[in-house]
Homo-oligomer: A and B are copies of this chain.
Amino acid sequence: MSTDIDTSSKSLSGKRISESTINRLSLYYRALSLLEKEGYETVSSKVLARREKLTPAQVRKDLSFFGSFGTRGLGYPVADLKKEIAVILGIDRVWRVALVGIGNIGSALVSYKEFARQGFQIVKLFDNDQRKIGSNHKGIIVSDINNLATELAEDNIEMVVLTVPATVAQYIVDEIVKAGIKAILNFAPVNLKVPDDIYLRNENMSMELEYLSFAIVNNHTQKKVKL
Contact = CB atoms under 8 A, between A and B. Distances in A.
Interface of A: 1-12, 17, 19, 22-23, 25-27, 29-31, 51-53, 88-91, 95, 97, 104-105, 107-109, 111-112, 114-115, 117-120, 158-159, 161, 182-185, 189-191, 196-199, 201-227
Contacts of A23: 2, 207, 211
A213 to B, nearest CB: 4
A213 B90 contact: yes
A6 B221 contact: yes
Contacts of A205: 109, 112, 114-115, 203
A215 B9 CA distance: 9
Contacts of A97: 209
A69 to B, nearest CB: 17
A199 B222 contact: yes
A108 B163 CA distance: 12
B189 A114 contact: yes
B118 A209 contact: yes
Nearest to A192: B53
A212 B185 contact: yes
Contacts of A29: 210
Given A8-B223, A12-B218, A212 B201 contact: yes
Nearest to A119: B213
Nearest to A208: B201
